């Protein structure tokens, strides 16, 4: 079950999003999601459902990670739309236009996983192509364990992520975790730009937009510490069940892309994930691609559509 609604959640003023470049997609909100009543959740909802296309039931569900938001998918969304499909790109609670619980203790693996399941049910999404990276994959790859989601799910596009199987952490990840935990006012935009040198100043500012000050960054600060890297941590059991699903029960199509310059979730860990996903494609490897590989997303989306025959 989802946690009770946090007492104190912050809401980013709308004017912070006034000058977001290349992201003019319709934003919708829900504030009465079961178990999350009173928290306003934001999501992009665009494409076939609005146009009356016969492909209205084909949906790309794009899940971002830490410390980004749905803006990360702006290069991929138009490619998916051109295929005639619907695109849903939610902002996790604590990120983007969604409300931001102010206490780090309000954040947990299941708090966010259950939110995604409830949102899929509310929107009655069908024929889902799951598109995941970073925490979008840590959470999203576990969703098919739930039978109700599995009935709605078809294919997978996976980038620079993993499953939280409780197997310890690399030195690179430990350094990132310690930095995040000890830096209350995380420099979000510059962190993302560090591995994505082609970002413009306006795009860097867009990544900073959801966070007017450090008070809004509880989620960004605590998320690395929530990655299920020890056997007793929340999320390990459901992640292990997910590994079983991907190995033995998944019979859809998948496409993998890897930003090879990612120091934590680059080629080696992604090739380990590939072994878990039944029938996973040979990956597209983007040699200069960093962790936020969606910033090379047009090329990835086009190749994925071709592979998935979408």
Active site residues: 134, 262, 291
Pair type for strands 86-90 and 59-63: parallel
Query: Hey, is 11 helix, strand or coil?
Result: coil
Alpha-carbon distance of 181 to 223, in angstroms, equals: 9
Please state the length of the chain: 310
Per-residue b or e along 77-107, where b marks 16 or more CB atoms closer than 10 Å to that residue's CB: bbbbbebebbbbbbbbbbbbbbbbbbebebb
Residues paired with 159 in a beta bridge: 133, 257
Is residue 126 a contact partner of residue 153, using CB atoms and an 8 Å limit?
no
Is residue 284 a contact partner of residue 257, using CB atoms and an 8 Å limit?
yes
Alpha-carbon distance of 132 to 155, in angstroms, equals: 11
CA dihedral 159, 162, 168, 169 (to 10 degrees): 20
3-state secondary structure 283-302: CEEECCCCCCHHHHHHHHHH
The DSSP line for 155-194 is EEEEES-----S----HHHHHHHHHHHT-SS--HHHHHHH
Nearest Cα to 131, choosing from 282, 257, 29? 257
Alpha-carbon distance of 165 to 243, in angstroms, equals: 9
């Amino acid at each position: 079950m989802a946690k009770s609604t946090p007492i104190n959640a912050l809401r980013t003023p709308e004017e912070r999003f006034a000058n977001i470049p290349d992201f003019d997609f319709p934003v919708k909100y829900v504030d009465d999601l079961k178990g999350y009543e009173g928290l306003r959740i934001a999501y992009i909802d665009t494409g076939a459902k609005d146009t009356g296309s016969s492909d209205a039931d084909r949906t790309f569900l794009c899940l971002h990670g830490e410390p980004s938001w749905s803006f990360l998918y702006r290069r991929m969304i138009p490619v998916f739309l051109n295929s005639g499909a619907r695109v849903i790109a939610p902002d996790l609670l604590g990120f983007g236009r969604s409300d931001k619980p102010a206490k780090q203790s309000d954040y947990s693996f299941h708090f966010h996983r259950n939110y995604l399941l409830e949102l899929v049910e509310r929107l009655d999404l069908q024929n889902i192509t799951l598109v995941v990276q970073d925490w979008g994959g840590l959470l999203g790859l576990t969703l098919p364990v739930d039978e109700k989601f599995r009935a709605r799910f078809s294919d997978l596009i996976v980038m620079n992520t993993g499953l939280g199987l409780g197997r310890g952490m690399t030195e690179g990840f430990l350094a990132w975790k310690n930095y995040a935990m000890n830096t209350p006012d995380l420099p979000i935009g510059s962190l993302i730009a560090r591995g994505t040198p082609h970002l413009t100043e306006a795009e860097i500012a867009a990544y900073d937009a959801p966070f007017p000050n450090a008070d809004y960054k509880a989620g960004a600060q605590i998320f690395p510490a929530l990655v299920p890297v020890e056997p007793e941590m929340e999320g390990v059991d459901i992640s292990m069940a997910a590994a079983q699903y991907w190995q033995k029960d998944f019979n859809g199509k998948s496409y993998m892309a890897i930003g090879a310059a990612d120091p934590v979730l680059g080629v080696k860990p992604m090739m380990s994930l590939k072994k878990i996903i039944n029938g996973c494609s040979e990956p597209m490897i983007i040699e200069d691609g960093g962790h936020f590989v969606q910033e090379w997303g047009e090329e990835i989306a086009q190749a994925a559509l071709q592979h998935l025959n979408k």
